[in-house]
């Protein structure tokens, strides 16, 4: 791809993300999400390979549907309350639609099917953007609207995402698909604590973004797209491979590594919530 074109798309990506995370009005937030979607599409399909074109098409259709649902839920809320403010989401049906729309944008279960396929069809650098930068605006919207979201729906989707992300990543041989299921699993951890302690959601996201960036950049350096390739890379770069191993263990949440911290804090916070049904 032309370097000038790549620069334009990257700047558009930053513009879309900044627009969404700094807006108070639903229309500007939606416009930011649309700019984000349109600027990442050429980066996904830059190789002109049929797999990349398929990934870009799947990504566009999913994100367009999710954006339409965001706009629909905000319009329904504005119709009933007269408010376009993001923090004033009070209509129950609008909140339910919004929860589903943001889950679709993020790739949470049961709207997760597109994410592994899109990540598999993208280059590693674009996969890094899809796993980190593209998740930031929807998570910001979740953070701003969490008091009005449906907690039961959010908790069910979070538990399913954590379980399915872990199970479905077990029988994969492609590194990008494994990282996609890792992302789905981490989203479950972020969503389940959102209603109780939203700051922990942000902590989890920041640490996840840091560790995932390390893994993607290392895989891009050693050009490892499959586990079979990854096994033999230690001969080329032993120190880099050792760092990759530690980062992967941290991403898995193994104590005493950094990735264990948010999981520990989330479990600790959940035990205080008294969420079990009362015995009669």
SS (H, E, C) 167-231: HHCCCCCEHHHHHHHHHHHHHHHHHHHHCCCHHHHHHHHHHHHHHHHHHHHHHHHHCCCEHHHHH
Cβ atoms of residues 16 and 33 within 8 Å: yes
Q: Report d(CA 218, CA 212) in Å as an integer.
A: 10
Name which of 1-5, 180-184, 245-249 the model is least confident about: 1-5
Q: What is the pLDDT of residues 242-279, one digit of tens each?
A: 999 999 999 999 988 999 999 999 999 999 887 766 55
Q: What's the pLDDT at 276? A: 65
Structure tokens at 208: 């996840």
Q: Which residues of 215-249 are buried (b: 16+ CB within 10 A; e: fewer)?
A: bbebbeebebbeeeebeebeeeeeeebeebeebbe
Name the nearest CA neighbour of 123 among 216, 242, 258: 216
- Residues near 4 by beta carbon (within 8 Å), at least 6 away in sequence: none
Structure tokens at 163: 């379980």
Check: pTM over 0.85? Answer yes or no. Answer: yes
**Domain coordinates in residue numbering, the chain:** 3-278
Per the prediction, the chain carries an average pLDDT of 91
Q: Is the peptide bond before 124 cis (omega within 30 degrees of 0)?
A: no
Main-chain dihedrals φ then ψ at residue 85, nearest 5 degrees: -70, 135
Q: What is the pLDDT of residues 217-248, one digit of tens each?
A: 999 998 888 988 888 888 888 889 899 999 99
Q: What is the pLDDT of residues 47-81, one digit of tens each?
A: 888 999 999 999 999 999 999 999 999 999 999 99
């Amino acid at each position: 791809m032309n370097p000038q074109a790549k620069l334009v798309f990257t700047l558009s990506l930053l513009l879309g993300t900044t627009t969404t995370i700094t807006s108070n009005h639903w229309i500007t937030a939606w416009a930011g999400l649309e700019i984000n979607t349109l600027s990442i599409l050429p980066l996904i399909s830059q190789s002109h390979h049929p797999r990349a074109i398929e990934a870009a098409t799947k990504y566009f259709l999913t994100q367009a549907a999710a954006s339409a649902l965001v706009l629909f839920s905000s319009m329904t809320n504005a119709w009933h309350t007269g408010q376009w403010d993001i923090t004033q989401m009070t209509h129950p049906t609008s909140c339910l639609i919004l929860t589903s729309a943001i889950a679709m944008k993020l790739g949470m279960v049961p709207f997760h099917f597109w994410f592994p396929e899109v990540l598999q069809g993208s280059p590693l650098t674009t996969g890094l953007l899809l796993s980190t930068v593209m998740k930031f605006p929807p998570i910001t919207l979740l953070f701003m609207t969490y008091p009005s979201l449906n907690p039961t729906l959010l908790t069910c989707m979070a538990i399913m995402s954590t379980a399915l992300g872990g199970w479905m990543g077990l029988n994969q041989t492609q590194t990008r698909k494994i990282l996609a299921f890792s992302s789905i699993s981490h989203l479950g951890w972020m969503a389940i604590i959102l209603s109780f302690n939203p700051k922990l959601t942000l902590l989890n996201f920041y640490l996840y973004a840091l560790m995932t960036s390390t893994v993607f950049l290392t895989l891009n350096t050693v050009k490892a797209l499959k586990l079979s390739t990854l096994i033999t890379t230690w001969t080329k770069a032993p120190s880099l491979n050792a760092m990759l191993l530690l980062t992967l263990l941290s991403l898995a949440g193994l104590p005493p590594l950094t990735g264990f911290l948010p999981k520990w804090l989330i479990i600790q916070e959940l035990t205080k919530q008294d969420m079990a049904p009362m015995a009669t």
